[in-house]
Each structure stands twice: as structure tokens, then as C-alpha cells.
Amino acid sequence: MEHYAGTFEAVYILLHPFIDASEVGTEQFKPGTYPDRQFIAKNCRAVPWAVVMEHTGLTSIAAVDVGLRTHILGLKPEFSNRDYAAKIESLFESSKILPPPEGSFSDLLHDRVLSSIQSLGYEWVWVGDEFGTERKLYWIDDLKNQESGPTVGHCNVFTPDKALLWTTHWDSHFSFLCSSERNLKAIQEAYDFEGFFCDRTTEVYWSVRN
């Protein structure tokens, strides 16, 4: 909230679901053969972090986040937890449940988030690169149901009036919805995304503070 002060009233951390690939197998989920968004949306099931906690015995979403970050070597040793990471990795072996990719929008949530933006009355969004140097205006419906497209990878999506931003962070397994408190509460009431509202002290690496 310190970073967005004067720009956005509220920020919601949108947790990206794990990917249940048990119906299609996990062999192709690797660099070079990783399935596209449309394939994942049609053939895989979203697994909430709350369910992952039940399967692994991890006691909080902070522990899940630390486990995910440890798995990708995204934390300094003093903040890492190999036990948490091992429990998350065990899901792959036991249930074919894969962690969400870091640093990009969730393929399983992508179209729902765009629909939630439409529910606020928007029909167009800007899609900008991660550095804020380029942007292009898109009809929201044209961004849905795509095998690949401008919202794959590290990018920013924001409304023409700059009242709402959807963005990511390189080493995180969640994204940020930034807007007014009223807009974000309306989205949450309608779509019930798993996550939480930031308070004044929440940081990108919030899980290592809990």
C-alpha cells in the first residue's frame, strides 16, 4: 500500500491455484512442451491453496507460499524451508498436482479475472509490458480463450481510466488486483477469488513475515 499510495485505495493478492493434471498426465508440463492456456483451462482442474494445505499438512497460506518460493529457489537460505517445499513437491508424485507457474497470470483464472473486470463495466483494457515502456489496447473478449497472446508472460493489464490494475511479480505465485476498495469488494463478492486484501504493512514477500 505504501508503493501504490495516491494511486490505488486497495490491493487484493490473488492466489493462483495449483493445477490438477491427473486427467492428462504431467509429462508435457516442462520447458519446451508446456501446454498452452486453452489446453490447461479445458483439461485441468484448479486446486485452491486451502486444499493443498489439507493434502500437505501445511498450516497456513504463508507456509504454502514459502514452500513454493523455496521450490523455485526464490528465497535466501535463511527464509527458505525445504520441508515445506518437499511437501508441495510430494503432491506431484502422489496426485499429479502441479504448482502454479511463477511470475505470470494463472491460466485457470485468466478468463475469470477478465470477466470480473468486465463486470465493473469495462470493455477494453490496456496490456503493457513488464517495464511499462509499451502498451496496446485490447477488446477484453478478444483476450479470452486464447492459446497464447499478449497476456502470456510478465505483463500488466489496466483499464483505460487507470482505475484498476492487474499485475504480477517475477518470483511470486499470485497476482495483484489494484483498484478502489469498492471495486475489489464487488469483484470478490461476485467471483470469490482465493486470496486476501493487503494491509498497510503487506509486502511482496509477505509470507516470510508471518
pLDDT given at position 80: 98
Is 2 a member of any domain?
no
Helix (H/G/I), strand (E/B), else coil: 110: helix
When comparing pLDDT for 46 and 132, which is higher?
46
- Give the pLDDT mean for 150-177: 95
pLDDT given at position 34: 93
133, 192: one domain: yes
In the chain, how many domains are there?
2
Say if residue 73's pLDDT is above 90: yes
Domain end marker among 80, 98, 116: 98
Cα 173 to Cα 105: distance, rounded to the nearest angstrom: 9
- 76-113 pLDDT, tens digit per residue, is 999 999 999 999 999 998 999 999 999 999 999 999 99
85, 108: one domain: no
190, 108: one domain: yes
pTM of this structure: 0.96
Is 126 a member of any domain?
yes
Domain end marker among 82, 98, 114: 98
Question: Nearest-CA neighbor of 20 among 63, 51, 61, 64?
Answer: 51
Is 4 a member of any domain?
no
Domain end marker among 54, 82, 98: 98
User: Does the CA dihedral 182-187-192-195 come out positive or negative?
Assistant: negative
Cα 159 to Cα 175: distance, rounded to the nearest angstrom: 16
Range of the domain at 148: 10-15+104-209
88, 153: one domain: no
Is 72 a member of any domain?
yes
Instruction: Please provide residue 8's backbone torsions phi and psi, each rounded to the nearest 5 degrees.
Output: -130, 140
Is 1 a member of any domain?
no
77, 127: one domain: no
pLDDT given at position 148: 75
Cα 169 to Cα 105: distance, rounded to the nearest angstrom: 10
Please state, for a pLDDT cut of 70, what percent of the chain lies above it: 100
175, 122: one domain: yes
187, 108: one domain: yes
Grade residue 147 by pLDDT with cuts at 50, 70 and 90.
confident
Cα 80 to Cα 208: distance, rounded to the nearest angstrom: 9
Say if residue 132's pLDDT is above 90: no
User: What residue spans of the chain are helical by DSSP H?
Assistant: 37-43, 49-56, 61-71, 82-95, 110-118, 140-143, 181-191
Residue 107's CB: how many other CB atoms inside 10 A?
Answer: 23
75, 126: one domain: no
- 15-42 pLDDT, tens digit per residue, is 999 999 999 999 999 989 999 999 999 9
| Strand pairing report for 174-179 and 165-168 | antiparallel
81, 120: one domain: no
65, 149: one domain: no
Say if residue 170's pLDDT is above 80: yes
- Residue type, position 123, single letter: E
79, 125: one domain: no
pLDDT given at position 133: 92
35, 130: one domain: no
Is 71 a member of any domain?
yes
